Amino acid sequence: MSKKLFLIVFISLTCFYSKAQVAATIDVAQVKQVIDGFGASTAWHTAITDVEADAGFGNATNSQLGLSIIRVRISPTSTDWSGWGDEKKNAVKAKARGAKVLATPWSPPPALKDNNNIIKGSLKPESYAAYAAHLKSFCTYLGNVDVISIQNEPNITVDYESCIWTPAQILEFCKTNAPSIGTPVMAPEAYNFANTFADPILNDPIASANIEYIGGHIYGTSARSYPLANSKNKKLWMTEYYIGGDSIGTGLIMAKDILDCMNGNMNAYIWWYLRVPGCNLINTDGSLQLKGATMGQFSKFIRPGYFRVQSNYQPNAGIIMQAFKGPEQDVIVVINKNTTVKSQTFNFSNENIVNATKYVTSATKKISNDGVITCTNNSFTDNLDAKSITTYVVKRVPSAVNNLKNTEISLFPNPANNFLQLSTIDNINSLYIVNSLGQKIINIKNPQDRTINISNLASGTYIALINYNGAEKRIKFMKQ
């Protein structure tokens, strides 16, 4: 063979292999973090209408987002134009549609600050107890707060409602005053997710025990993992972010940010405004912005209690994805950043799948149901629209484990890593986890949450003893 012919063959083979598409692999047995949900804020919104509440928090149609978290503002006073009354109405409407409530203050009452102003200034040390009482009174007034934050962005100086804290001040408040609020506490909700504010809390045994959530914003930074928070068994919530515009370019940036947060083991992602113009997800008539449709590609299908599972982050150039497992179905969200249609194969392991229903948002589509794809040998291949976000809702073969019903009690996933999920908590009186020696390692009376944290258990086999309706069910599971 001549050198020239050899070179041509070599180049041809190189081009062929460089263009070969890599199959995405989804291993549902490798379970990552539990997902608490996706949400938006109604801060400074006044009261939202039923039409807006349906569009944001309803999930009956493809024009509804199915948001599962609402972030409300704790006004420094209860009497201003967007005071506690409007946010209570918003929280009640969101809660009625299945959402959790996160409450965040931008400033303590002026009298508790060293500048007697809702803008800038700091909380006076002698006012810590009074501030905790203020937060508790808001929770009492709303009656349905699930998580309460101590402060929005304590680490930046701005010319609007705000309060400046140091890491030492946040630490002291968490150690001394957080428990008296009486609601699960989040801290520090820092701008750029500054670890310098969260690390001292997590490294202090008392302060760490007093908070359940680490919150933060990704302005000025990018989503990243936080091993220290994970090691302390804290939920990680990204509680505020927005970008302007409403093109598919904006949607792709937004979708990648969400996927990156999920890839960083975060449990929740919350957009800034629900319907205030400029960065809104919905309009006043209930119609969706393209940004709203982008959020819906996640929030409608990845429901609270689902788990992220192992998958390729970037199986091919310009294609980014994450996969999730729920009690009855699996979900894949894929971005195609390329300007052309791309073929992608998805291979499942440790799962028997039947078909995948495809939903697409692009420059011309908003959560469009693009049909059902038949799966063969736990695999399917599909064409991804150019510049699009695609969600596949994957149906599994029914089984005793997968076909969970509300009338039955089951645990999943099995094997598990850090969290187990109950199929229901209705009528459960107690749950015990017993090791191989018969010792009760975990004891939960009247569980209020379907998620069970087993991150402190050593690898091995355990039995869950579930008492309900006067009967007892035993379920063996493995901790990886």
224-267 per-position pLDDT tens digit: 899 999 999 899 999 999 999 999 999 999 999 999 999 999 99
3-state secondary structure of 40: strand
Q: Which residues face 149 on adjacent strands?
A: 186
DSSP annotation string for 361-419: ESSS-SSEEEEEEE-BTTEEEEEEPSSEEEEEEEEEPP-TTTS--TTS--EESSSBSSE
Tell me: the pLDDT tens digits for 78-118?
A: 766 557 999 999 999 999 999 999 999 999 999 999 999 99
Q: Which two tokens stand for residue 201?
A: 């809390």
What structural domains does the chain harbor?
22-30+308-396 (2.60.40.1180), 35-304 (3.20.20.80), 411-479 (2.60.40)
DSSP state of 445: E
Which active-site residues does the annotation give? 153, 240
The predicted model gives 34-61 an average pLDDT of 96
What's the pLDDT band for 456 if we cut at 50, 70, 90? confident
Alpha-carbon distance of 130 to 217, in angstroms, equals 27
Looking at every residue in the chain, the average pLDDT score rounds to 91
pTM of the model: 0.83
Q: Could you tell me where the beta strands, DSSP code E, fall in 228-352? A: 235-240, 268-273, 307-311, 319-325, 329-336, 342-349
Per-residue pLDDT for 285 more than 60?
A: yes
Torsion of CA 82, 85, 87, 91, to 10 degrees: -170
Q: What is the per-residue pLDDT for 410?
A: 80
DSSP state of 327: S
The predicted model gives 38-62 an average pLDDT of 97
Q: What is the per-residue pLDDT for 14?
A: 44
Alpha-carbon distance of 126 to 459, in angstroms, equals 47
Per-residue pLDDT for 397 more than 80?
A: yes
Q: What are phi and psi of 305, to 5 degrees?
A: 100, -10
Of residues 224 and 53, more confidently modeled:
53
What's the pLDDT band for 401 if we cut at 50, 70, 90? very low
What count of Cα atoms within 13 Å lies in the side-chain half-sphere of residue 53? 17
Per-residue pLDDT for 385 more than 70?
A: yes
Q: Which two tokens stand for residue 155?
A: 């680490």
What's the pLDDT band for 465 if we cut at 50, 70, 90? confident
Bond into 415 cis (ω within 30) = yes
Q: Which residues face 74 on adjacent strands?
A: 105
Q: What share of the chain is helix, strand, coil (3-state, %, to 5)?
A: 25, 35, 40
Bond into 413 cis (ω within 30) = yes
Q: What is the per-residue pLDDT for 19?
A: 57
Torsion of CA 141, 143, 146, 149, to 10 degrees: 10
Q: What is the per-residue pLDDT for 193?
A: 94
DSSP annotation string for 144-179: --SEEES-S-TT---SSB-----HHHHHHHHHHTGG
Residue of 7, 232, 225, 239 whose CA lies nearest to 103: 239
